Copies of this chain bind each other. A is one copy, B any other.
Amino acid sequence: MNLEDMELEDIAQEISVLHKGKKYSDIKSILTEINPADIAALFDEFSVEEQILFFRLLPKEEAAETFVELDNDTQEAIISAFSDAELREVLDELYLDDTVDIIEEMPATIVKRILRNTDSQTRASINTLLKYPEDSAGSIMTPEFVDLKKNNTVEDAFKRIRRTGVDKETIYTCYVTDESRRLIGVTTVKELLLHDYDDLIESFMETNTIYVNTHDDKEIAVQLFDKYNFLALPVVDMENRLVGIITVDDAMDVLQEENTEDIHKMNAIVRTSEKPYLKIGVFETFRSRLPWLMLLMVSATFTGMIITAFEDKLSVLIILTSFIPMLMDTGGNSGGQASVTIIRALSLNEIDLGDIFKVIWKEIRVGICCGLSLAAVNFAKIWLVDRLLLGTEGITLKVDLVISLTLVIEIIFAKIVGCTLPIFAKKLKFDPAVMSSPFITTIVDALSLLIYFWLATAILHI
């Protein structure tokens, strides 16, 4: 059962009533029927005291699963309210990568308490994981995986899984390592189930294993999931020793996170936080939006200078001014279309640097088609609506021609600028996503004005 917001509110109401009547066992049975992700959503409806009270009602395993889904403030409140014994119970049930994620968001005092309540081996693993760079594959892996030896039989493998599997985040992909813990092969529980009990792992394991290094960018890891449809991906250290795995659910989270980051970058936002919108403060939102707004505002100085340079001509034929917004917006939109298409295609690996001429040639043709169509409609519209219907002064056939010709040329230029800048950015190892609409618009604006005034000078002799 997937709970919609409405149902969640109903359940919250029901629990509130039960709470007033102190019917805790009823609350407990309601909560145990709900998926941990939904319990976390439900908790938003309650006060901190209630959250702590209800959390204590959860069975051990469900408590840990719910804890991972809660937001950082609630997690902090619950840990603060917990005795060391209670804290240990939750920590015991958590997967290591989740513990590390939580530690990264908690204040120092809480971190100390968490570390004090884990055994020394776990503490060592946590410390290792905390050292990986923020965007690295190491930072999203878990060191809890099933490892087998090549001379294990299928029966050995199942015994090992039955004995140790309960604590592993996934058991379905099993990794085969040699004596120095180097990764030499991989197999799956499906393969194990389809082989005889006394078959040796090495007789059927896959040896062309795809893996990432702990220091690889996590984006590379996620692209491999996307390409090869893995459930888990092994992570090795500099000496090729298997140190962890990334599971598909974490890969999916990173994928969503990277998509959000790209979308924000494409719209002149510096992403400073991974928190959901309503949890980010006004000042932090302000900080994430100001830099690009400021830069783009200052760079619009150039368009201002172009207009100032043509001021005398504009004052002769002031009607030309009223088409500046339309020309600028259409140029910006045309360039923006090309740039986001290319940025997305680059990030999905549909195109690479070598395709630049194919891309430009295609965009030129698309630009010609779009330019001609828009110019034709615009030409007719100016004549029929602006001149004949509205009787706007100063519109002549030549003026109409200047505006429509500007459209054709600026759209072709906009498409070329829009498709080349992201590719250049990638070549220069910048993130192509910043070369998107806002940035393209600023450049295309200046280009459009130059084309406009040049055509006006040539055709209208002003």
Contacts and interface: CB of A to CB of B under 8 A. Distances in A.
Interface of A: 1-2, 5, 33-35, 37, 158, 161-162, 165-166, 171-172, 189-190, 193-194, 208-210, 212, 224-229, 231, 248-249, 251-253, 255-256, 259-260, 262-264, 266-269, 276-278, 282-283, 285-286, 289-290, 292-294, 296-298, 300-301, 303-305, 307-308, 311, 314-315, 318-319, 321-326, 328-330, 332-334, 336-337, 340-342, 344-345, 348, 350-352, 355, 358-359, 362, 365-366, 369-370, 373-374, 377-378, 381, 385-386, 390, 392, 436-438, 441-442, 445, 449
A93 B355 CA distance: 35
Contacts of A324: 307, 321, 324-325
A328 B328 contact: yes
Do most interface residues of chain A lie in helix, strand or loop, or is the interface mixed? helix
6 contacts: A165-B194, A278-B350, A297-B378, A298-B381, A301-B326, A305-B322
Given A172-B172, A315-B315, A348 B276 contact: yes
Given A34-B208, A438-B333, A249 B229 contact: yes
A313 to B, nearest CB: 10
A34 B228 CA distance: 12
Contacts of A35: 208, 210, 228
Contacts of A333: 267-268, 292-293, 296, 438, 441
Given A332-B441, A437-B267, A193 B158 contact: yes
B37 A228 contact: yes
B260 A348 contact: yes
A162 B438 contact: no
A300 B318 contact: no
Closest 7 CB pairs of A and B: A300-B326, A229-B249, A307-B322, A276-B350, A303-B325, A277-B345, A286-B369
Nearest to A224: B2
A379 to B, nearest CB: 12
Contacts of A259: 259
Contact of A208 (B1, B323, B329, B373): B1
Contact of A278 (B276, B297, B300, B358): B358
Copies of this polypeptide in the complex: 2
Count chain B CB atoms within 10 A of each CB in A264, A305, A318 and give the residue with the most. A318
Contacts of A318: 311, 314-315
Contacts of A249: 229
B226 A256 contact: yes
Contacts of A362: 278, 282, 285
Contacts of A358: 278
Contacts of A260: 344, 348
A381 to B, nearest CB: 7
A388 B307 CA distance: 18
A390 to B, nearest CB: 8
A366 B286 contact: yes
Contact of A437 (B225, B314, B336): B336
Given A276-B345, A315-B315, A330 B1 contact: no
Contacts of A366: 282, 285-286, 289
B33 A1 contact: no
A187 to B, nearest CB: 14
Given A277-B345, A308-B392, A352 B5 contact: yes
Contacts of A311: 318-319, 321-322
Contact of A341 (B172, B269, B449): B269
Contacts of A355: 278
A458 to B, nearest CB: 21
Nearest to A297: B330
Contacts of A263: 262-263, 266, 340, 344
A158 B162 CA distance: 14
A381 B194 contact: no
A457 to B, nearest CB: 17
B282 A369 contact: yes
